[in-house]
Amino acid sequence: MKYKIVYMGTPHYAKEILNTLIEAEDMDVSLVLTQPDRPVGRKKVLTAPPVKALALEHGIEVLQPNRLSDEGIEGAIRSEKPDFIVVAAFGQILPKSILDIAPCINLHASLLPQYRGASPVQQSLLSGDEKTGVTSMLMEEGLDTGPMLEKVEFVIPPTMRLHALMAQLTTDACTLTLSTIRNYDNITAQTQNEEQATLCKKIKKSDGEVDFEDATLIYNKYRAFEGWPGIFTANGTKLDGLSLVDPSTHNRVLEILSFDAGGVVVGCSKGALKIDSLQPASKKAMSAKAYCVGRGMKVGDLLFGDAF
């Protein structure tokens, strides 16, 4: 038996799940829906979502509606007579008219009901969680509120950052997708406990600003905001190569505590961090030690002085 699948997704995470479905001998993906092409980069080059590029490689029909309520979309999905509609990071909420066509299975990168919404992987790192995972769930009209089908858990190493965690959860989501579809008739869906539900919002550039109050919180921002938006000070200096030296000592904010190879250890109100690389606004990145040496700074000085 082959399962007939209509697939909805947009970014790399969704592309890898689609690839798993395409490669599985018992899956037949006949239609893909993804977000419209978007301008990307400084030159605003119109770029197809990763899911679209993969689908076209395999000769699968692709639709890119601005809204799923657009004329003809429901009819196109219904005409495929799918066994399942599989959704992963699609970027739109499904209307009831589409939810009613076939079971809609969503692959959400958190242990629901924790971290419903747009940035569950970053939120897990920001919170310093010991574990996270992927949940397959039946979709309903709310945002990530539907009954849960299966979960896979992952223990997060304390130094793991966003890209590595996303890669792990993507691999887990691919495995979970096949498991949930193949075992669907034997799975008892579980209602989410609303009292345990949390919501995470879309990340903004301003979220990357750090204030050197709590070293652990800053380090977790560094882990969560890898790539974009990164972390930076109020004066626009970007910070990279961070490690948590101490979570609990009390220090003068931004006092230089020691130098270590190319890095500099600085104090926070609570804890201390080692910074390997700095990039002042509109300048090239440099080692933190070189930054300090070039300005005649020594242990006991403040890293940014009055400029912070």
Instruction: Mark whether 229 and 87 lie in a shared domain.
Output: no
Question: Which pTM value belongs to this model?
Answer: 0.95
Instruction: Mark whether 89 and 159 lie in a shared domain.
Output: yes
Q: Can you give the pLDDT at residue 41?
A: 86
Mean pLDDT of 76-105: 97
Residue 113, domain CATH = 3.40.50.170
Nearest CA among 229, 235, 223 for reference residue 208:
229
Instruction: Mark whether 147 and 231 lie in a shared domain.
Output: no
- Tens-digit pLDDT profile for residues 179-209: 999 999 999 999 999 999 999 999 999 999 9
Determine how many CB atoms are found less than 10 A away from the CB of residue 260. Answer: 15
pLDDT band per the 50, 70, 90 thresholds, residue 1: confident
Instruction: Mark whether 91 and 240 lie in a shared domain.
Output: no
Share of the chain above pLDDT 90, in %: 95
Instruction: Mark whether 170 and 263 lie in a shared domain.
Output: no
Instruction: Mark whether 118 and 170 lie in a shared domain.
Output: yes
Instruction: Mark whether 57 and 166 lie in a shared domain.
Output: yes
Domain's final residue, options 138, 168, 200? 200
Instruction: Mark whether 162 and 225 lie in a shared domain.
Output: no
Mean pLDDT of 62-84: 97
Q: Can you give the pLDDT at residue 4?
A: 98
Domain's final residue, options 200, 235, 261? 200
Pick from 12-26, 63-77, 169-183, 294-308: least confident? 294-308
Mean pLDDT of 265-283: 96
What average pLDDT does the chain have? 96
Domain's final residue, options 142, 177, 200? 200
Q: Can you give the pLDDT at residue 193?
A: 97
Instruction: Mark whether 260 and 120 lie in a shared domain.
Output: no
pLDDT band per the 50, 70, 90 thresholds, residue 262: confident
> 165-190: buried (b, 16+ CB within 10 Å) or exposed (e) per residue?
bbebbbebbbebbbebbeebeeeeee
Instruction: Mark whether 105 and 142 lie in a shared domain.
Output: yes
- The CA-CA-CA angle for residues 29, 30, 34, to 5°, reads 85
Mean pLDDT of 279-294: 94
Q: Which domain holds residue 98?
A: 3-200
Query: Which residue has better confidence, 34 or 307?
Result: 34
Residue 256, domain CATH = 3.10.25.10
Is the pLDDT score of 308 beyond 60?
Answer: no
* Strand, helix or coil for residue 272: strand
Backbone phi and psi for residue 284, each to the nearest 5 degrees, phi listed first = -80, 155
- Tens-digit pLDDT profile for residues 154-177: 999 999 999 999 999 999 999 999
Is the pLDDT score of 289 beyond 80?
Answer: yes
One DSSP character per residue, 121-190 reads HHHHHHTT-SEEEEEEEE--SSSS-SPEEEEEEEEPPTT--HHHHHHHHHHHHHHHHHHHHHTGGG---B
Q: Can you give the pLDDT at residue 306?
A: 53
Instruction: Mark whether 99 and 118 lie in a shared domain.
Output: yes
Q: What is the number of domains present in the chain?
A: 2
Is the pLDDT score of 305 beyond 80?
Answer: no
Instruction: Mark whether 132 and 50 lie in a shared domain.
Output: yes
pLDDT band per the 50, 70, 90 thresholds, residue 286: very high
